[in-house]
Amino acid sequence: MLDGTVVNVAVVRMGDDLHASLADLQWVTNGYLVTMASLILLGGSLGDRLGRRRVFLVGVIWFALASAACGLAQSPAQLIAARVVQGVGAALLVPGSLSMIHSSIRPLDRGRAIGSWTGLGGIASAAGPFIGGWLVQYASWRWAFLINVPLGALTVAVALRNVPETRDMEADHHLDVRGAVTATLALAVTTYGFIEAQALGAAQATGVVLGGLLLLAGFVVLEDRERHPMVPPRLFASRQFAAANLMTLLTYAALGAVLFFLTLQLQTTLGYPPLAAGLATLPLTVLMLLLAARGGQLATRIGPRLPMTVGPLFCAAGVLLLSGVDAGDTYALGVLPGVVVFGLGLCLLVAPLTATVLDAAPDRYAGVASGVNNALARTGSLLAVAALPAAVGLSGADYARPGALSGGFRAAMLAAAALLVAGAAVSWALIRDDVPAGDGAAARPEDADGTADDPAP
């Protein structure tokens, strides 16, 4: 979570140092998201089958080693390749972090636990621009990646000491390799069509995107026919599960666009150095620390429908305020109000959304449900960052030209606000408050020898 926003602050310096184009910088973000979004389903499924803590730890170690390769890259191509490998590690660790919580904590306490998980993840995301800004400004953009190595080592030590092993004792050990390969190709081809649209030309780019969508349709057909699919189609028979994931796709597309474009606008048009650009989003950290867990508790008391409707509307209002940020604006009047309103919306929204997805699925599918939700979140960000720059008329080195960037920034913010409003409409129309928790038996923590203990309180 920290890495995602640290990299956003570092992209301008990366571009200067490695002589990268805007398309290169998009691939630095999206090369990572392609493998993460497409393989995160497999990561969740592997955790359910082989042990959630075990797969999580493999992912942490993989992620840390790939981060070191990113920090040592000497060209845009090397950095993009290392980011692709880094995304594989993320696909293993991200669903495990949430499914370990879900499978080890009793249902009545899960809302608060997931709220705490969301808050700490949000703090990491929001602290990323500050930490990344400091590292980029006073050390090097390379430390935006190298910082993950000691953090990974610390995470491994804590998890081995404190986290119980859990798995789905009924799971089959067959792996859906065809599904994983098809999902990866579908996202890679679609993303390529969006990012390289101007170089390919309208007709050819449209053909590439349609090819990616056909592969995505093929993935759906394969999953329906697969005996042991990565994504059991029966999960989407639940309207609650399907609606919450659709809302995730819309909301995180907006979030990815906002973080990508706001960081560019602050540094290029307003002239913020990297550290100041990072500090600009510090209020998000404070708000998530204070209020994210309370958002989870609120949804437990009144149901998720209202928080999941009002939260995106608050976020949309914050994005509209941020859309006016331009050269000459002060931080207090131009940037801070939008950041605060946006942050309040996230505090209302994120924990109820995550809890709703998991509660709508049987407990035995905690890893898969978490993987689906995270995959759609990353896919939303991936497609937004891939498609919006070309859609708003940005290309080449426009990210470094204030006059060219400002118009595109405003258009991208308006598009992000529209996505958030659409997410609110989905929640109001389709999310219900009276849906019971997942109907499957909870997974059971295991000792190192594979024998089951009593569930942790």
For the segment 122-145, the average pLDDT, to the nearest whole number, is 78
Strand blocks (E) in 104-263: 165-167
Question: Residue 439 pLDDT > 50, yes or no?
Answer: no
Question: Residue 82 pLDDT > 90, yes or no?
Answer: yes
- Residue 399, H or E segment: none
Tokens 């906002």 sit at which residue? 258
Question: Residue 170 pLDDT > 70, yes or no?
Answer: no
Question: Residue 122 pLDDT > 70, yes or no?
Answer: no
Q: Please tell me the pTM assigned to this model.
A: 0.72
Question: Residue 264 pLDDT > 80, yes or no?
Answer: yes
The pLDDT score that the predictor gives to residue 313 is 96
Question: Residue 339 pLDDT > 60, yes or no?
Answer: yes
CATH of domain 2-176+228-433: 1.20.1250.20
Question: 4-27 pLDDT, tens per residue?
Answer: 667 777 877 888 888 888 788 888
For residue 440, name the pLDDT band (cuts at 50, 70, 90): very low
Neighbour count for residue 205 (Cβ, 10 Å): 19
Question: Residue 413 pLDDT > 70, yes or no?
Answer: yes
Question: 185-206 pLDDT, tens per residue?
Answer: 887 888 778 777 777 777 888 8
Question: Residue 437 pLDDT > 60, yes or no?
Answer: no
Question: 278-308 pLDDT, tens per residue?
Answer: 778 778 778 877 887 788 778 888 889 999 9
Question: 91-118 pLDDT, tens per residue?
Answer: 888 877 777 887 778 777 877 787 777 7
For residues 275 and 174, what is the distance between their CA atoms, to the nearest angstrom? Answer: 48
The pLDDT score that the predictor gives to residue 223 is 81
Domain residue extents for the chain: 2-176+228-433
Percentage with pLDDT > 90 across the chain: 27
User: Which residues, in sequence order, are CB contacts of 360 under 8 Å at separation 6+?
Assistant: 238, 240, 241, 244, 369, 435, 438
Q: Name which residue leads in pLDDT, 22 or 416.
A: 416
For the segment 58-76, the average pLDDT, to the nearest whole number, is 94
DSSP letter at 169 equals T
For residues 23 and 453, what is the distance between their CA atoms, to the nearest angstrom? Answer: 51
User: Which residues, in sequence order, are CB contacts of 366 under 8 Å at separation 6+?
Assistant: 48, 98, 99, 102, 103, 358, 438, 443
The pLDDT score that the predictor gives to residue 172 is 62
Question: Residue 68 pLDDT > 90, yes or no?
Answer: yes
Kindly report the average pLDDT of the chain as a whole number.
82
**279-317: b or e for each residue (b if 16 or more CB lie within 10 Å)?**
bbbbbbbebbbebbbebbebbbeebbbbbbbbbbbbbbb
The pLDDT score that the predictor gives to residue 345 is 93
Question: Residue 441 pLDDT > 60, yes or no?
Answer: no
For residue 171, name the pLDDT band (cuts at 50, 70, 90): low
Q: At what angle do helices 148-162 and 52-71 cross, to 10 degrees?
A: 170
- The residues with which 167 forms a beta bridge, in sequence order, are 444
Most confident listed range (28-42, 120-134, 249-263): 249-263
Lowest mean pLDDT among 44-48, 66-70, 321-325: 44-48
CA nearest neighbour of 11 among 31, 25, 22, 23? 25
Q: Name which residue leads in pLDDT, 130 or 10.
A: 10
Question: 373-407 pLDDT, tens per residue?
Answer: 877 887 888 788 878 888 888 876 777 788 888 88
